Structure 1
Amino acid sequence: MSNPGVEGPVWLPSLPPSLGEYLAPNLQPVPLIPVLVLSAALLYMAGAISLWRRRRGWSPVRTVSFLTGCAAVIVVMGAGIEGYGLRMFSIFMFQQLTLMMAVPPLLVIGSPGTLLLRTTPHNWWGRPVLRAAIWGLRSRWGRLAIHPGFMVPLFLLSFYGVYFSGIADLLLPNWYGHVGLELLFLVAGILFTVPLISADPLPSRQTHFGRMIDIFAEMPLHAFFGVVIMMATTPMVDFFARPPAAWNIDPVRDQEVAGGLAWSYGELPGVLLLMFIMVRWQRDEARGWARSERAAAAAGGDADMDAYNRYLQQLADRPERPR
């Protein structure tokens, strides 16, 4: 298309949107995000294979989870859907929700940090990588990045701040701004997800109750955003108000679809995260009770229970008072 409406190295489809066109393997001229994610997947596989060759265990479930997240990013950013997302609000919202809500849990469950620490050699080129990782774990910047006071507002600002402040109209007409927003969405989603479910070493860890508070703080505000977008009667983002005529798109109807996606598709990963946290909480509590029982058995009994039993025995040994 000769006039894509976006400055920079972009390709815009000429055919009306359809499922086949969305999934068609049409790469953008500069597929930055797909290349970065593909590189991350190759490095992850190299690390996993190195552990398997040395007969050091690494979970296939983690591997599949991480690679599935990478594959989702490559499809959403590397197929024809990226071209339609340049001018359709609903498609761009679907990409944003995928990058922020669906992909980060898959990547985080893969525990790439643990894999990095296990596979990086302690030689001349591996030492800088390990030093950088240890610095991130010990620095105040690492603690700040996953602190609820930073990551929850960043997550919400990626919705309210981008669309209600005019940032979208400022950045989307330019390739650099468009890709920059997509990278922001992915980073914000990862920073929000890491303290909730990550098993990697972290600078600090929240309690299970604190994690549930973070989820409950985000979900209603996220749903409210979708309802506001869905009920708006005029285009809220001027850039999406004039899609290419050949696509036969009603911008207001397309905006309603975007709001519906934010309300439905955006809430489902949050519910799954909440269930994941509750299951892990219950499992950790069960492990704690089991450790306490083993420690009591090793010590010859439970001190609190023994004291209570002695108290009951004293009551039983008291002489009865004459009536």
Structure 2
Amino acid sequence: MDGPVWIPTEPPSMENFLAPTLQPIPLIPAIAVVLGVLYLAGALRLWSARRRWPVWRTLCFLVGCAAIAVTMGAGVEGYGLKMFSVFIFQQLTLMMAIPPLLVLGSPGTLLLRATPHRGPGAVVLRWAHAGLRSRWGRVALHPGFTIPLFLITYYGIYLSGLDDRLLPTWYGHTGLELVFLASGVLFTVPLLSSDPLPAKQGYGGRLLDVAIEMPLHAFFGVVLMMATTPIVEFFATPPASWDLDPMADQKVAGGLAWAYGELPTVLILVFIAHQWFRADTRQARRADAEADLHGTPELDAYNAYLEQLATETPSGSSR
């Protein structure tokens, strides 16, 4: 493999997967650490100013950053360079498991609240507001873009042969991992985010988007498990010291795509349904409170009209 990479010689095992072994250029783990530090600095700034910021949102974002650092920074990254099942596990984690944690952290809201309004902070806020109002932001978060992007990251990359051209280099491999994370975040933001967005999607639309996406990775997993030849030629020649059967490993990759990819999606569905129920309940309570305070003029007028009809003497009844 071309580029600054480290490929382990020991056979794959759970101990070797979790070994704290960084790649020569740990780009993505470094990005995760920087994001985590910036987020924590923003939260501490609000807390020190006695302004409220949910601890659970902070924990969600920091756990997401830690998951990125481990998935991309431990020994699992070395095995993912030549082991299809590990690479699929990393892809699913970057696309399905980590984005909800980052999005639930509401980093956009924290940015707007914690950034100083003077000096460099004013420039950051200006760029943030411009991004929220931009047409590109609407396009990037629209289902017409995010769902096809999901399709490309599975079928477009693996079935077009693009993976065999990108994976043999450090630049292509790292670029794909960044694309996986970015596509997962873009897909998740309209579903779960409470940040100010260019456009808000209704709960029904969110459920529909998830329902459309759910079969994608499941069917791709079936394709992998039923294939009789390697889908990705690059993973067909693992190091001899690993004593690994590429076809057996591909079936494991298919099982992961089918099973592991479904769990985060189901949890997202449950979360959206719960949020929808809470929103409807709050709306009903507000309507009842307003009716108790101000009454319901239209309903009262209609009831008075019905009572008037009931008390009036029908025409010709005096005969």
Shorter-chain TM-score range = over 0.9
Find 1:305's aligned residue among 296, 299, 305: 299
Per-residue Cα deviation, 1:194-246 (whole angstroms, up to 9, x for no partner) = 00010001001111111111111111122111111111111000000010110
The aligned counterpart of 2:234 is 239
SS at match of 1:158: helix
SS at match of 2:125: helix
Shift of residue 127, structure 1, vs aligned partner: 1.3
Find 1:277's aligned residue among 245, 261, 272: 272
Shift of residue 317, structure 1, vs aligned partner: 1.8
Q: How does 1:23-62 map to 2 (within 5 A)?
A: 23-62=18-57
Q: How does 1:219-258 map to 2 (within 5 A)?
A: 219-258=214-253
How far apart are the structure 2 equivalents of 1:100 and 1:179? Answer: 14
Alpha-carbon RMSD: 1.4
Q: How does 1:166-181 map to 2 (within 5 A)?
A: 166-181=161-176
Question: Structure 2: any 5+ residue segments left out of the alignment?
Answer: none
The aligned counterpart of 1:150 is 145
Q: Which amino acid is 1:154 matched to?
A: L
Per-residue Cα deviation, 1:110-142 (whole angstroms, up to 9, x for no partner) = 000000000110112111101110110001001
How far apart are the structure 2 equivalents of 1:238 and 1:30? Answer: 25
SS at match of 1:159: helix
Q: How does 1:34-183 map to 2 (within 5 A)?
A: 34-183=29-178
SS at match of 1:236: coil
Shift of residue 315, structure 1, vs aligned partner: 4.5
Q: Which amino acid is 2:103 matched to?
A: V
SS at match of 1:24: coil
Q: Does 1:216 align with 2:211?
A: yes
How far apart are the structure 1 equivalents of 2:130 and 2:239? Answer: 49
Q: Which amino acid is 1:7 matched to?
A: D
Q: Which amino acid is 2:233 matched to?
A: D
Runs of 4+ with >3 A deviation = 318-322
Per-residue Cα deviation, 1:162-217 (whole angstroms, up to 9, x for no partner) = 10001110100000000000000000000000000100010011111111111111
Q: Does 1:194 align with 2:193?
A: no
Task: Report the TM-score, using the length of structure 1 for normalisation.
Answer: 0.95
How far apart are the structure 1 equivalents of 2:31 and 2:218? Answer: 31
Find 1:268's aligned residue among 263, 272, 292: 263
Q: Which amino acid is 1:73 matched to?
A: I
Shift of residue 269, structure 1, vs aligned partner: 0.7
Q: Does 1:295 align with 2:303?
A: no
SS at match of 1:181: helix
How far apart are the structure 2 equivalents of 1:304 and 1:69? Answer: 50
How far apart are the structure 2 equivalents of 1:197 and 1:307? Answer: 42
Q: Which amino acid is 1:226 matched to?
A: G
Number of matched pairs? 317
Question: Structure 1: any 5+ residue segments left out of the alignment?
Answer: 1-5
Q: Which amino acid is 1:29 matched to?
A: P
Q: Which amino acid is 1:302 matched to?
A: T
SS at match of 2:82: coil
How far apart are the structure 2 equivalents of 1:268 and 1:107? Answer: 17
Q: Which amino acid is 2:299 matched to?
A: M
How far apart are the structure 2 equivalents of 1:257 and 1:95? Answer: 13
How far apart are the structure 2 equivalents of 1:249 and 1:271? Answer: 32
Shift of residue 297, structure 1, vs aligned partner: 2.5
Per-residue Cα deviation, 1:37-84 (whole angstroms, up to 9, x for no partner) = 100000100110111111100000000000111111111100000000
How far apart are the structure 2 equivalents of 1:58 and 1:87? Answer: 43
Shift of residue 313, structure 1, vs aligned partner: 1.9
Q: Does 1:19 align with 2:29?
A: no
Q: Which amino acid is 2:20 matched to?
A: P
Q: Which moved more, 1:214-223 or 1:186-195?
A: 214-223
How far apart are the structure 2 equivalents of 1:244 and 1:304? Answer: 77
How far apart are the structure 2 equivalents of 1:76 and 1:314? Answer: 73
Shift of residue 155, structure 1, vs aligned partner: 1.4
How far apart are the structure 2 equivalents of 1:125 and 1:26? Answer: 36
